[in-house]
Amino acid sequence: MLRIIFLLLAALLAFAPANAQDADLNALLETYRTKIEKPSRTTIGPVLDALVESQLPGVAVFLEKWREKELWQRKSDGRFFLVEKADGGKLMLIDVATGEQAGLAEKNDLDNLKPNSGVRGVIAGALVQFQLSDPDPERRLQALTALERAPDASHLSILRAAIDSEPDPAIKARKERLQRLLTIQFGSDQARRVAAIESFAGDPGVDARAALNPLLATSIKVFDTAPEGVNVARLLTPGSDIDAEAAYQLLVDAGKARPIVPLADRKQALIDNIENGMVAGTPVAELVSQSARDRAYLALAANGTVPPLVTREEQRQAVADHVFAEVYAEPDPVLTTAARETLANISGTVGFYQFLDLALDGLSLASIYFLAAIGLAITFGVMGVINMAHGEFIMIGAYTGYVVQQFIPNYTVSIIVALPLAFAVAFLAGVALERLVIRYLAHRPLETLLATFGVSIALQQIAKNIFGTQARPLTSPSWLDGAWVLNDVVSISYIRIAIFVLALAFLGLLLFVLNKTRLGLEVRAVTQNPRMASSMGINPDRINMLTFGLGSGIAGIAGVAIGLFAKVTSELGSGYIVQSFMTVVVGGVGNIWGTLAGAGMIGSLQKLIEFFNPSNTLAAQTYMIIFIIIFIQFRPKGIIALKGRAAGD
């Protein structure tokens, strides 16, 4: 019998703590009921402290539901519940402590507690320590993001406690980084703060600079003697480092000098002291000059009626008698020295990555110019034709991609289909132009230029008639969204990377065609010496047609690539025709390697000019043209000159 009683008592003791905890949460909420009903940022602190310190199992869920405005209160007894929808329009009550159902209720019998955004932010801060150790890695990442957005001194110890138990290496590294950032801002131990500061040496992250810069924030303060016991950044010399008038105003603000009476106040004082048409014995009619008004004001000041004026000599003497200094907001000089050295190190790293980012931007732009210009380089090199309609073949390719996407909604498949189709459409358009116009204007460059310029205008108008004047979307696949981010300084969009890869692929393909195929052999022969090629059985007329079609087809593919990030309009090609000609001329007419070199030079130089003058892209274009004019004076045949007809031999 005694054994049975003992077992029953043991069972009761085993279950008692859990039941007590469940009961304690409701009891704790009852204690702070009024503050939970009508919370504010100033009154919610004790409630959250009590809930967190209780370590009860239902606290995290309660805080989360409260923050998400999903906490309800029963009007009859003021008890708090979570709810679920039930049949008949009623709500099923869920006990906040146990999570068990507690019966049905009408919606009118409950109040939905909706804290404002400020209160929700405070609750989110209290939730952090629960979320940092949550089994779900997504919730832990959300907690870290919340900490990064609104860090607080109270979060530092919580974050440190959550690092060792973190199983995910990536999340752990992010926790450790955030812990170092919070140590810089809120740490109390000097050695720890210095170590955290020095750990960011060479780190280009924006968050590191954001944490370090406040340590070097300064304000100008005035002292009677040489400052002592403060962290001085530098002493200031009035008239050199600080304006003398600003220095005197600092003295006035500090209560160390008399304020200067503004001119408007002096004028108003004279008006207020007019008696019988006189001001301090001076007739109003005589107060027509500033000197007369000053004499009247000084007379009033001598009588004690108005504040006395501050003379220039008094201002100079007051400024000379005091010491002005820039003082760090951070009182510890050890921390400011470490922050200054670390930021100097970071500045060098950021400069390197800015150069790398600029180089990548230039390379990306060069790949676009290469795609746009390579077709022109081929036609110009083989035929000597200045094709002003080359940009419109780019436009044709872009519109081809748009039309394909109207029939193939899968963007990946549509781009795969659009690339060869754009080549085919532009190839046929180029062949048609060569057969109908270019062949009849052989060796007449001026007439060819004018004719292709007219074709350019006609093609633009046809595009407007078919597609309208509004820009049409050419949507890239989802896997091309976003950018490759190396750090907070270097990033490049996936579309630009894809265009770079496409340019490399076409470079390899063209080299193969020109060097390893019969067509390439014939093209090179006609380029270097058309008469000799003709005597060897090569038909120059046929080669001209195929070459013009090939160059136009490549422009069509370039149009699809450019249309992925630019607006597809009838004027799309005209924006690239100038750059294409510049690329061909600078690189060397009719030479693939020359076109590549020209594209690299122009793309890099344009990005460099835009780096120094980012607000004016038109200026960059102007400087670019000036550079090319100067360049061709010294190297008229381009970077890589081609011997043969295209070079003018």
The predicted-structure confidence for 120-168, as pLDDT tens digits, reads as follows 877 877 777 777 877 888 888 888 887 888 787 878 888 888 888 888 8
Q: What's the average model confidence in pLDDT over 478-487?
A: 84
What is the predicted pLDDT for the residue at 268?
Answer: 86
The rounded Cα 632 to chain-centroid distance in angstroms is 38
What is the predicted pLDDT for the residue at 614? 67
| Residue 220, pLDDT score | 92
| Bridge partners, residue 484, by sequence | 492
Q: What is the DSSP letter of 259?
A: P
Q: Which of 81-95, 175-189, 234-248 has the lowest mean pLDDT?
A: 81-95
Number of other residues whose CB lies within 10 A of the CB of residue 59: 23
pLDDT above 90 as % of the chain: 18
Q: What's the confidence (pLDDT) of residue 334?
A: 93
pLDDT score of 374 = 84
Task: Give 608's pLDDT tier (boundaries 50, 70, 90).
Answer: confident
Cβ–Cβ under 8 Å, residues 572 and 563: yes
pLDDT category at 196 given cuts 50, 70, 90 is very high
Q: How far apart are CA 426 and CA 240, in angstroms?
A: 67
Q: Specify whether the CB–CB gap between 588 and 596 falls below 8 A.
A: no
Host H or E run for residue 235: strand 232-236
The overall average pLDDT reported for the chain is: 83
Strands 282-283 and 323-328: unpaired
pLDDT in the model for residue 590: 64
Q: Please check whether residue 60 is in contact with residue 127, taking contact to mean a CB–CB distance below 8 angstroms.
A: yes
- Nearest-angstrom CA–CA distance, 253 and 99: 61
pLDDT at residue 448, as a whole number:
84
- In the block, residue with structure tokens 């265009």: 499
Q: What pLDDT score was predicted for residue 566?
A: 82
Give the C-alpha separation, 266 to 259, whole Å.
13
Four-residue CA torsion sign, 178, 179, 185, 190: negative
Tokens 């690329």 belong to 583
What is the percent of the chain where pLDDT is above 70?
94
The identity of residue 496, as a single letter, is R
Contact of 61 with 71, CB cutoff 8 Å: no
Q: Does pLDDT of 1 surpass 50?
A: no
344-377 pLDDT tens trace: 999 999 989 988 888 888 888 888 888 888 888 8
4-8, 73-77, 280-284: segment of lowest average pLDDT:
4-8
| More confident: 5 or 632 | 632
Measured distance CA(237)–CA(207) in Å, rounded: 34
CB 454, CB 441: distance < 8 Å? no
For residues 467 and 399, is the Cβ–Cβ distance under 8 A? Answer: yes
DSSP result, 487-535: SSS-EEEHHHHHHHHHHHHHHHHHHHHHHHSHHHHHHHHHHH-HHHHHH
- pLDDT of res. 642: 58
What pLDDT score does 398 carry? Answer: 92
Reduce the DSSP state of residue 229 to 3 states and report it.
coil
Cβ neighbour number for residue 20 with a 10 Å cutoff: 11
Tokens of residue 632, six digits: 């061709």
Helices 169-186 and 155-163, axial angle in degrees (round to 10) = 150
- The answer, yes or no, to whether residue 17 has pLDDT greater than 50, is no
Single-letter code of the amino acid located at 148: E
Name the nearest CA neighbour of 636 among 588, 591, 577, 594: 588
Q: Is the pLDDT of residue 12 over 50?
A: no
Asked if residue 616 has pLDDT above 80, the reply is no
Average pLDDT over residues 322-330: 92
The enclosing H or E element of 91 equals strand 91-95
Number of Cβ atoms within 10 Å of the Cβ of 23: 13
Whole-prediction pTM: 0.70
Predicted confidence at residue 615, as pLDDT, reads: 64
Residue 9 reports pLDDT greater than 50: no
pLDDT above 90 for 424: yes
Which residues touch 33 (CB under 8 Å, ≥6 apart)?
Answer: 78
The residue-averaged pLDDT of 498-526 equals 84
Show the DSSP H helices in 151-219 as ranges: 155-163, 169-186, 190-198, 206-212
DSSP class of residue 440? G
Query: pLDDT-based confidence at 381, cuts 50/70/90?
Result: low
Q: pLDDT at residue 498 above 50?
A: yes
What pLDDT, in 10s, does the model give residues 542-576?
Answer: 888 888 888 889 889 989 988 888 888 888 888 78
Say what the pLDDT of residue 336 is.
93
